[in-house]
Structure 1
Amino acid sequence: MPWSMKDYPASLKNLEKPARKKAIDIANAMIDEGYGEGRAIPIATSKAKEWAENASTDEIDDFLTHDDETERDADPSSGSGPELMNKPEHVIKHKKGWAVKAEGAKRVSEIKDTKKEAIERAKEIAAHKGTEVIVHLADGSVQRKIKTGS
């Protein structure tokens, strides 16, 4: 589930506002990459606390300039939602190399220099989600499908 400053896990309620916002942003990004909520929340919390301890006042102020909004508050249709968790990962040609993109996603999740690297990353993401990888040729046609076994 994508979280926002208005709707977030109860475990984040005791964090200071900057750390909470950072944790939400990190957790949402991890969910987009295929991590489960049970792993994403504690990792994001830890990283957000570390960031808050080491960030300068200016950096924190700059981070909060968008009011209480996270990316998902500003545009709830942005990124990947839970509806993409059951969708296969696609490896497609991109102007900067080869991209990994969940089926139905509005944007690619990663861009790799080589097709081999993109396939490996897509397999990792798909394995976390329990889906398959669909590898495309440069012309967009399907080359092959890879079952991840999860």
Structure 2
Amino acid sequence: MAGPFFRKSLTDSGQLRRGLEKDVQHKAIEIANSLLEDGYEEGRAIPIAIAQAKKVRPKSNVTYQVAPVDGDNQWEVRKEGADRATNVFNKKQEALDRANELIDSQNAKVMIHRQDGTMQETKKANN
């Protein structure tokens, strides 16, 4: 029977160093160890563990706003509390596309406004 992964072994895996956040890495280690104890081979356990760890990541406290830029025909994506926009786009759909990326990559909540500044909807990751 294969022994459990050690933190160093799994962290050294190239699959885990490719842009995974620390909390996802730690959860993947935990899941991979469990899979190895259940008899999975290392090459199969790592991708399964990564996929599962991404699904159970903790909720984020990060909130972004998608709103019209004052006096302009542009749309901004701004992290709540930030002095400057993260991104500025010519079309609302472009800003919404960026917001969806942030929902996925940062597990963020996004508050979307209408052209007149009123709230349209709030979107967040499906945890």
Report the TM range for the smaller structure's normalisation.
Answer: 0.3 to 0.5
Q: TM-score, normalised by structure 1?
A: 0.41
Q: Which has more radius of gyration?
A: 2
- What TM-score, normalized to structure 2? 0.48
